[in-house]
Structure 1
């Protein structure tokens, strides 16, 4: 059964569900990226401390 065959309300619910999952995924990616940047930044900071 194609999504086009679903009643409009069902389709809307599915679309909202997909949007929600997408939102969570985007938030997750953003958090991971921030963590990676912080780790890199701290490592560079520590490395410069050792060099100095």
Structure 2
């Protein structure tokens, strides 16, 4: 498991300085119920608005 998770979505409550993610776990799903072939085809379900 990754020790350092980086995220540029600074409108998320789990975002911290230097793009660090402070969530205790990360949940990512396929976008639109199809198998992902790139990061653009995924969605972060961990996101919460600040």
Say whether the fold is shared (TM-score over 0.5): no
User: Which has the larger share of helix?
Assistant: 1
Q: TM-score, structure 1 length as denominator?
A: 0.19
Q: TM-score, structure 2 length as denominator?
A: 0.19
Return the structure number with greater relative CO, CA threshold 8 A, min gap 6. Answer: 2
User: Which has the larger share of strand?
Assistant: 2
